[in-house]
Amino acid sequence: MLRSSAQSRSIALVIFILRWDKAHTKSAALYTGVTETETTPLAASIPGAAHIGNPMQLKNPILGLCQQSTFMLSAAKVDQCPDDEGFEVAFAGRSNAGKSSALNTLTHASLARTSKTPGRTQLLNFFKLDDDRRLVDLPGYGYAKVPIPLKLHWQRHLEAYLGGRESLKGLILMMDIRHPMTDFDLLMLDWAVASGMPMHILLTKADKLTYGAAKNVLLKVQADIRKGWGDAVSIQLFSAPKRLGLEDAYTVLAGWMELADKGSEAAE
């Protein structure tokens, strides 16, 4: 069954994609009054960061699946996607928001390298965790040099994927912590909440700020999300180079892919 709420937003998506190269708006400016790393690195400021940064110490059941994940296929159209069954979690975000780095860190591999190849960024890239579970790397939005017809092609098939994919269980939205809440981020938030799609936000590149600055951005974005969208969206700090925030991200993935119970059984 198609999610009608997603389909009803098709006109807004078309209009925005035509001007997505100007996606940094006044809303984003509210969060940019912070400076990049000057003194204390974020990871060094958080108790237990060394533990969080060591994936071998994590007990989450999704960890083993991510470690054995493999590239599955790239799809230019929805009818080229794998069979619509099982569990999928999609990763979305503005170009240069750290989406590929986050995926590679979560899987301990270079699976998302194809998204950096010119001409491949308009594809849906699928990565297999097991026979029933997949991660999906969505095209990064905001690349200004893509011709309008190609943007419309991307929009049409992305809309079909998001609106009609029954196996899609959640959406991970990447926001560069230095430039969060762009127009397209807000549009994705609107769509996810209206359509009942679970969403979790990674404030990426958190290591670029001091811990105090990163925490302030997190609290500001969190407050605005609660004001505008309620408690339907969760959010965390994330740094691929420092491997910071892995445990929280794995917990979200495990819950959406119905692996949490298996983790509890294993702990017992």
Measured in degrees and rounded to the nearest 5, phi and psi for residue 199 equal -135, 140
- Overall residue count recorded for the chain in this entry: 268
Cβ atoms of 172 and 97 within 8 Å: the answer is no
* Domain at 44, CATH number: 3.40.50.300
pLDDT at position 54, please? 46
Burial label for 266, CB within 10 Å (0-12, 13-18, 19+), is exposed
Digitized pLDDT (tens) for each residue of the chain, 268 residues in all: 444 444 444 444 444 444 444 444 444 456 655 444 443 444 444 333 333 344 444 567 788 899 899 999 999 889 999 999 999 999 999 888 889 899 999 998 777 654 444 444 578 999 999 999 999 999 877 655 667 777 777 778 888 899 899 999 999 999 999 999 998 899 899 999 999 999 999 999 999 999 999 999 999 999 999 999 999 999 999 999 999 999 999 999 999 999 865 544 444 4
Count Cβ atoms below 10 Å from residue 190 Cβ, excluding itself: 15
Q: What is the dihedral of CA 100, 203, 246, 102, to 10 degrees?
A: 0
Residue 107: domain span: 4-267
Q: Is 70 helix (H, G, I), strand (E, B) or coil?
A: strand
Q: Residue 223 carries which DSSP code?
A: H
Name the packing angle between helices 10-17 and 148-164 (round to 10°).
150
> Whole-angstrom Cα distance, residue 189 to residue 230?
11
**Total domains in the fold of the chain:** 1
The secondary structure element, H or E, covering residue 126 is strand 124-130
